[in-house]
Amino acid sequence: MRYLRSILGMVALAVSLVSVPAVAQMGGGGTGGPTDGMTNGSEDLIIPAGVRGEGKLSSFFVTDLWIKATGTGTATLYFHAADAASSAPAATTTVNLTQPITYLPDVVQANFGLASGFGAIRVVASFPISATVRVYNQTGAGAYGLAFTGMPSRMGMTSMPMGGSHGTDEYAMYMLGLLPEPGNRVNVNVVSTSPTGATGVVEIVDADGSSPAGSGAKSLPFNLAGFSSHQFNDVLLNVHSKFTAGDAGLQIRVRMNQGGAGMVMSYAVVNDNATNDGYVVMGSMMNGGRGMGTGMTGAR
């Protein structure tokens, strides 16, 4: 599967999505039911990558899941395949949380019953939980891979409202810190964090936010079903900066269609073309140049 190696750089998902410049960018707090996020202590977490299957260089990747709970009870796990046609999960399972930490090795097969798959995992419980996954290669003398953390679904970015006066950067995620071709390749993944799905665009922009040079595509539209995801591969191919700093100054911007429903999270993975090693750059709403807001949650 061409997606597998590109997600292995996923780290610290919670860090860059928690800090946002405006309350209006974020989904509102829950008002009833797990899909709204936390309600009376319940939680709906989005883990934007769950993998089981073949990768490059004879590798085979699996996903382990850890769930930390403040109480005891059950959690419902949903596996939402990438590029799904609807918000219906490809597989669902229930897990008994009887200990402070529950460890689920090879969760895609052992718990979801899937021999292979690529997508996102939701973990829903009626009491506070956190979750971490490790995606790793299990062939060869030793394993390699990375771990990343689930985020509350309500923390996704919303679209710019219709009407009123709004700046583009108030409702956009930016990714910078990208290494260019030919030594590297950059893949971008956009994940819907609500049942309504999301539409928008991934844009390649220059250091000043303008359109860069080169013949490569600079606008990549997405149309996601609820809780599904899509990956754009090698997005900096044949795209070049106009500035003396070079192509390392290129940025990725993610925006939803104005007035659109739903919420999204996004990340880029920069892969070394010689070693296949990768690192993740999370979509950040701090990089739009409009400062940081003081609120963390609130109505849309």
**58: exposed, middle or buried (C-beta count within 10 Å: 0-12, 13-18, 19+)?**
exposed
Average pLDDT over residues 231-258: 94
Q: What is the pTM of this model?
A: 0.81
Taking residue 163's Cβ as centre, other Cβ atoms within 10 Å add up to: 8
Residue 122 pLDDT greater than 50, yes or no: yes
Q: Residue 141 — very low, low, confident or very high, per pLDDT cuts 50/70/90?
A: low
What does the mean pLDDT of the chain come to? 81
SS (H, E, C) 39-54: CCCCEEEEEEEEEEEE
- Measure Cα distances from 260 to 57, 189, 212 in Å: 41, 19, 27
Residue 250 pLDDT greater than 70, yes or no: yes
Residue 202 pLDDT greater than 80, yes or no: yes
Pairing of strands 173-175, 151-152: unpaired
Q: Residue 143 — very low, low, confident or very high, per pLDDT cuts 50/70/90?
A: confident
Average pLDDT over residues 164-174: 81
CB contact set of 190 (below 8 Å; sequence gap of 6+):
198, 200, 202, 222, 224, 229, 230, 232, 254, 264, 265, 266
Per-residue model confidence as pLDDT tens digits over 12-31: 333 333 333 333 344 433 33
Q: DSSP assignment of 84-125, as one string?
A: -SSSS-SEEEEEEE-SSEEEETTHHHHTT--SSEEEEEEEEE
% of the chain with per-residue pLDDT over 70: 80
Residues β-bridged to residue 145 = 136
The pLDDT, as a whole number, for residue 32 is: 33
Per-residue model confidence as pLDDT tens digits over 53-67: 887 667 788 999 999
The pLDDT, as a whole number, for residue 192 is: 96
Residue 35 pLDDT greater than 60, yes or no: no
Average pLDDT over residues 112-127: 95
Taking residue 275's Cβ as centre, other Cβ atoms within 10 Å add up to: 7
Q: Is the model more confident about 34 or about 73?
A: 73
Per-residue model confidence as pLDDT tens digits over 270-282: 888 887 777 888 8
Q: Residue 142 — very low, low, confident or very high, per pLDDT cuts 50/70/90?
A: low
Query: Lowest-pLDDT range, 99-108, 118-127, 154-163, 233-242?
Result: 154-163
